[in-house]
Amino acid sequence: MNKQLASALFLFAASGCVNYTALTDIEPDGSGFVSIIVEVPLMEDAGMSITDFGVADSTPGWELTFMSTDTLDTAVVYRLEGNFKNPGILEDVFDIDNMTFEKEESGDVIRYHLSRPPVYMPASKFEGVFQSTGSMLKTAVKHGTDKYTWIEKLVLPGKIVEHNANKQKKDTLIWKVDIGDLTREGFLIDVTWEVPK
């Protein structure tokens, strides 16, 4: 896995913003690497503060390689990195609802299809304010979308056949997700790609 690529996704924004950035890098065999950075301001008007950033480390096919919590002058920054044997394992690691991962061999190619919500949000404790990621996002809407940034990057091998990303840069798909999309049921990252056998 490309650790330099993962470190490039670290996002340190101006004080007062909540930033979520995730990078998923998938290899031709379906294995891969994920890196997540969540930055939460230490400000009352931001409406939130996370006290714990946890993830299931006992899932077969998942290896947690790095996790840290850093308290800065104006924010708490959570970082998490790990390796997976196939993207479907992340459903259990992050307790994701509405996720689909399919693999189909046909002729000389292997076709993969991935559909999932646009946010990996490990089990987190929200200092008595939030009971779920959903309630956190509703508060995000209330406080204004300009204070919240949600970015997903997916690096894929082979040929990208279909996707619903906002942007494609060579082998990288980028979703910059609006808070409204995060709160609406049914919004999913959806991508199909092919690799030679």
138-163 pLDDT, tens digit each: 555 555 555 567 899 999 999 999 99
Amino acid identity of 168?
Q
Closest CA to 188 of 80, 97, 111, 104: 97
Report the helix count and the strand count for the chain, using DSSP H and E.
4, 13
pLDDT tens digits, one per residue of 54-109: 566 788 999 999 888 787 777 778 888 999 999 999 988 888 878 999 999 999 99
Let me know how long the chain is.
197
Please list, in sequence order, all residues whose beta carbon lies within 8 angstroms of the beta carbon of residue 17, skipping any fewer than 6 positions away: 39, 41, 147, 148, 149
User: How many domains does the chain fold into?
Assistant: 1
Q: Which domain holds residue 91?
A: 3-196
Answer whether residue 5 shows pLDDT above 70. no
Distance between CA atoms of residues 148 and 146, nearest Å? 6
SS3 of residue 113 by DSSP: strand
Distance between CA atoms of residues 6 and 34, nearest Å? 8
The per-residue pLDDT for 180 is 63
Q: Is the pTM of this model over 0.75?
A: yes
Q: In the chain, what is the straight-line distance between the N-terminal and C-terminal CA atoms, in Å?
A: 20
Task: Grade residue 165 by pLDDT with cuts at 50, 70 and 90.
Answer: very high
The per-residue pLDDT for 139 is 55
